[in-house]
């Protein structure tokens, strides 16, 4: 039995792995809605990160629940959505998916050196480069039982999006 075509994709990875850019391009190519997980952060979380302080799990739970609620609400109406969200720990992903088989994780994998270079080049983002080490320390790479779609970020956005789409169940059955 093949996997169902997902109703939602959560594009995850450390800061500066390209979640927002790739998630938006992926949603555009699929004709799905895009939402950026950063937009679900309460102002206190943004200010904490801007000050160079990593978020705690207590900071993250309400944020993650609001993203899970958005996925549930949007897909319940028959929509399909791509959400960019760091989802660094297994427990975070478990909350976002809460057992749903029609939500898939897309893990953007890249070296710390590549991501640090991208992070240093970003302008006007609240996440300082000083928090990158904490991001990698927190990261729990998705296990096979999570059915992740894993892609390297060593390509351009179009190449990465194509690599994701090639791994979606619909692409194996589409004509």
- pLDDT single digits (tens) 12-27: 999 889 999 999 999 9
Other CB atoms within 10 A of residue 164 CB:
25
Alpha helices in the chain (DSSP H): 19-30, 43-50, 57-76, 90-97, 112-121, 132-138, 157-167, 169-173
- Examine residue 2 and state whether it is found in any structural domain, yes or no: no
From 135, 67, 55, 75, select the one nearest 95 (Cα to Cα). 67
- Examine residue 173 and state whether it is found in any structural domain, yes or no: no
Cα–chain center distance at 113: 20
- Examine residue 54 and state whether it is found in any structural domain, yes or no: yes
Residue 114 in tokens: 């590549």
Contact (Cβ atoms closer than 8 angstroms) between residue 121 and residue 23: no
**pTM for this prediction:** 0.87
CATH code for position 60: 3.40.50.300
- Examine residue 87 and state whether it is found in any structural domain, yes or no: yes
- Examine residue 164 and state whether it is found in any structural domain, yes or no: yes
**Burial category of 92 from C-beta neighbours within 10 Å (exposed 0-12, middle 13-18, buried 19 and up):** buried
Instruction: State which residues form the domain around 98.
Output: 8-168
- Examine residue 156 and state whether it is found in any structural domain, yes or no: yes
In this prediction, residue 29 carries a pLDDT of: 97
**Burial category of 126 from C-beta neighbours within 10 Å (exposed 0-12, middle 13-18, buried 19 and up):** middle
Which DSSP category does 38 fall into? G
Give pLDDT < 50 ranges for the chain: 1, 125-126, 171-175
Q: How many distinct structural domains can be found in the chain?
A: 1
- Examine residue 140 and state whether it is found in any structural domain, yes or no: yes
Q: What is the per-residue pLDDT across 53-75, written as a single tens digit (0 to 9) for each?
A: 888 899 999 999 999 999 999 99
- Examine residue 174 and state whether it is found in any structural domain, yes or no: no
């Amino acid at each position: 039995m093949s996997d169902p075509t997902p109703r939602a994709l959560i594009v995850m990875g450390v800061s500066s792995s390209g979640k927002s850019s790739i998630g938006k391009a992926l949603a555009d190519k699929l004709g799905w809605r895009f939402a950026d997980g950063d937009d679900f952060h309460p102002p206190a979380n943004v200010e904490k990160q801007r000050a160079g302080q990593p978020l705690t799990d207590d900071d993250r739970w309400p944020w993650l629940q609001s993203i899970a609620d958005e996925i549930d609400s949007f897909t319940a109406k028959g929509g399909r959505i791509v959400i960019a969200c760091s989802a660094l720990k297994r427990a975070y992903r478990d909350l976002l998916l809460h057992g749903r088989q029609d939500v898939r994780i897309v893990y953007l994998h890249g070296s710390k050196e590549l991501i640090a270079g991208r992070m240093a080049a970003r302008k006007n983002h609240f996440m300082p480069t000083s928090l990158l080490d904490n991001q990698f320390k927190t990261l729990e790479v998705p296990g096979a039982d999570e059915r992740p779609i894993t892609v390297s970020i060593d390509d351009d956005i179009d190449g990465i999006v194509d690599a994701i789409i090639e791994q979606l169940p619909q692409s194996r059955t589409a004509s």
